[in-house]
Amino acid sequence: MTPSDHRHTVAAKRDGETLAADEIETFIEGYLQGEVGDPLAAAFLMACVLRGLDANETLAMTRAMIASGETVTFQGLTVPTVDKHSTGGVADGVTLVFAPIAASLGLAVAKLSGRGLGHTGGTLDKLESIPGLRTDLSPAEMEEQVARVGCAVAAQSSSLVPADGALYALRDATATVPSIPLIAASVMSKKLAVATDLILLDVKSGSGAFMKTPEHAVDLANACLALARGAGRPARVGVTDMSQPLGDAIGNALDVAEAVSLLRGEHHGRLRQLAVAFVATALEVELGVGLGDATGQAERAIDSGEALERFRRMVEAQGGDPHVADDPWSVLPRAAVVRTVHSDRAGWTPKPWGMPAWRWAPGGCARATRSTPPWVS
């Protein structure tokens, strides 16, 4: 390829043409190899934002991103493997409870998680608040743990889709983030690079989410599903509300304590409802259980303590103190100062505080980074 070929690709997209798969793949490869510089890549991304990418173009971009790194397979597992991913929101602790509930019902949850940015930190940060717990499992360790315990939540390696971090940093710097095809490619490249039997996506919509309206969230859901189909991978997407945090807790140790409370059957709010809904969908797709029956199974897995037991075993397998499942605050780090917040007005709360309030976090649990998309978790 010559520099003028890459410029031709950008010019074609600028003029609204549809690019061939190999043009897109060559361009992305060129960027990752340093043959295409940031200015041309930024122009390309802006052309994509303004002109759009059709399903084939988006799939080509996703494939090129996957090809930038390693892929993960779990060949030794005999039960269906499920991956669950949320496009991010405030206090989304669903994964912490989804994994043990699903594992207790005969599914294998092999969850590779990114380092979140954000308001709450990601699932990894939450788990790592349990003393001793490690998330740097190798693929072999992860597979062994999933075979034995039914679930594992580990950090994705930096060599899993390195293109995503590079492209996201450039998009963040060039006002090219809000594009559904580009977001779908970012989300799905990392899901498709890990070979599981079912991909479950929770696309959030609302004031606390990246997609502000259900209509936009449905567009993103459909774009992600088209990529899954293109890659021959079964997937289901729930478009769910994030106009307020799902649970009560926003933090890391606080989220773990809330997850334990939920698994002890003490929490009956939206967090539990959503975790149950995702487990039921996984049971329906992978084990052929009717949805009503599957929902009942998930509820019973919580109420019987089976899911809590899986959580305990997962924590222990990853080196964490299993007593967190019995008495979370005997194990978790407590803040030095705990204060009650009293309302200074009266009225109906149309906008509960989540994200805006979170920005204070001095040395708190939020991080800012330019290379992690807001839809990781």
- Least distance between another protein and beta carbon 127 (Å): 10
Pick from 101, 177, 194, 225: which binds another protein (CB under 8 A)? Answer: 225
> Using an 8 Å Cβ cutoff, are 226 and 57 in contact?
no
The set of residues, in sequence order, having a beta carbon less than 8 Å from that of 336 and lying 6+ positions away, is none
How far, CA to CA in Å, does 309 sit from each of 52, 82, 262?
A: 47, 19, 13
Main-chain dihedrals φ then ψ at residue 221, nearest 5 degrees: -60, -45
CA triplet 128, 134, 135: central angle to 5 degrees?
85
Q: Is 330 in the site for another protein (CB under 8 A)?
A: no
Query: Where does this chain touch another protein (CB under 8 A) — which range of 3-11, 59-67, 144-152, 249-257?
Result: 249-257
**Measured CA distances, 96 to 123, 228, 232 (Å):** 7, 24, 28
Q: How far is CA 102 from CA 92, 97, 145, 202, in A?
A: 17, 9, 15, 16
Separation CA 275–CA 125 (nearest Å): 19
Other C-beta atoms closer than 10 Å to the C-beta of 150 total 23
Which region, judged by CB under 8 A, interacts with another protein, from 63-71, 156-164, 314-322, 357-365?
357-365
Closest approach, Cβ 142 to another protein, in A, equals 22
Print the binding letters for residues 262-281 with another protein: x by CB under 8 A, - otherwise: --------x--xx--x---x
**How many residues would you count in the chain?**
377
Residues near another protein (CB under 8 A), total: 77
Q: Tokens standing for 336?
A: 């030095």
The CB-of-31 to another protein minimum distance in angstroms stands at: 21
The set of catalytic residues is 85, 164, 171, 186, 190
Of 15 and 337, the one with the shorter C-beta distance to another protein is: 337
> Residue 315 Cβ, how far from another protein at the closest point, in Å?
15
Closest distance between another protein and the C-beta of residue 330, in Å? Answer: 14
- 295 touches another protein (CB under 8 A): no
178: helix, strand or coil = coil
Among 183, 215, 208, which residue's Cα sits nearest to residue 376? Answer: 183
Q: Binding of another protein at residue 192 (CB under 8 A)?
A: no
CB-nearer residue toward another protein: 149 or 211: 211
Give residues 36-95 in contact with another protein (rule: CB under 8 A). Answer: none
Residues 85-144 that bind another protein (CB under 8 A): 115, 117, 120-121, 125, 128-129
For another protein, the binding residues in 227-246 under the rule CB under 8 A are 235-241, 243-245
Bridge partner list, 81? 108
Position 344 contacts another protein (CB under 8 A): yes
340 binds another protein (CB under 8 A): yes
